[in-house]
A = this chain, B = another copy of it.
Amino acid sequence: MSEPRKLEVLRAIVEDYVHSREPVGSKALVERHHLGVSSATIRNDMALLEEEGLIAAPHTSAGRIPTDKGYRLFVDRISAVKPLSAAERRAIHSLLEGSDDVEDVLERTVRLLSQLTNQVAVVQYPHSSRAKVRHIEFVLLAPRQVLVVLIADSGKVEQRVVDAGADVSDEDLTVLRGRFLTGISGAPLENLPQLLAPVVALCPPALQGAAAVLARGLDKLAESSRDERMMLAGTANLARSNVDFPLSIGPVLEALEEQVVMLRLLSEMAEDPRGVTVSIGRENPYDGLSEASVVATGYGPGAAAKIGIIGPTRMDYPSSMAAVRAVARYLSRILGS
């Protein structure tokens, strides 16, 4: 029995099952795909595939469906990434061209991706943990309220209002700003905690209290700039593929709402730096996603931020991978300008 044909059979099973969402049997297989052999031969092959845990039969006299492992092999060794149709390329173009705001671009992007794939799309805000301090600003809003602004060279701006604890004047703030700027300008955000203490110590004694408060404010800003966010679209697609989640889509929705979970998931998929990464069913670290697959890739500088889709294991991987990759490329290009 030829190894290549076994793969061919697996491929056929996956494709048929994805298409029909019904267990596929030996006879149907030989009819739909012109493999040059009879159904009996296919049966033998299928028995082997089942032994290897690549496919499984829901019950005695039904066809086979791919297991997680089967999908894995399919994705790794078989599927060629399917090129997008011209219409899809056009859609990407027209939808993503001509907008300026990063937030706006991301929003359009997830929507587009979710429509393209008919799955839930998710995009992580561009990374900034390696960003450096470009500028800080202290603005007196009210006698004791100070607005602290932190601008990173990634272009991200975080702001926060803090209570100075005692009255401070505009002049005080100017002094403090100078001290802080010389102390931390250009420093990576992640180093802020260590750098701030000495700066505070160097401030005029009368302003120690205010300096400490401001330092804490900056620290929190850096922190919340580090803690990343994401954006969702197409959750309604989950409902459509209700059948594909035997239990319920509840756990999936929960996972999607837990941004922490999703972000970790995405960043752990970083392994393959130049392609699209796929995480299938139980491969998934999070329990709620044990019946779901994630297709993701990086975008932007260093492909550090992630974009991807989430759907049932029974998913059209080639198309999904193509869509994710294409959209990520366009996104990189637009944001790179």
The one of B134, B160, B238 that contacts A101, using a Cβ cutoff of 8 Å? B160
Q: What separation, in Å, do the CA atoms of A151 and B248 have in the docked complex?
A: 45
Number of interface residues of A (CB under 8 A): 31
Q: What separation, in Å, do the CA atoms of A141 and B134 have in the docked complex?
A: 7
Q: What separation, in Å, do the CA atoms of A235 and B120 have in the docked complex?
A: 14
Say yes or no for A174: interface residue by CB 8 A criterion: no
Considering only residues 225-280 of chain A, those with a C-beta below 8 Å from chain B are: 232-236, 238-240, 242, 248-251, 253-254, 256-257
Q: What separation, in Å, do the CA atoms of A151 and B141 have in the docked complex?
A: 9
Is B160 touching A159 in the complex (CB atoms < 8 A)? no
Say yes or no for A137: interface residue by CB 8 A criterion: yes
Is A240 touching B236 in the complex (CB atoms < 8 A)? no
The residue among A147, A248, A253, A256 with the most chain B CB atoms within 10 A of its own CB is: A253
Known: A149-B137, A157-B147. A240 touches B250 (CB 8 A): yes
Known: A239-B250, A253-B239. A149 touches B141 (CB 8 A): no
User: CB within 8 Å of B: which residues of A?
Assistant: 101, 134-135, 137, 139, 141, 147, 149, 151, 155, 157, 159-161, 232-236, 238-240, 242, 248-251, 253-254, 256-257
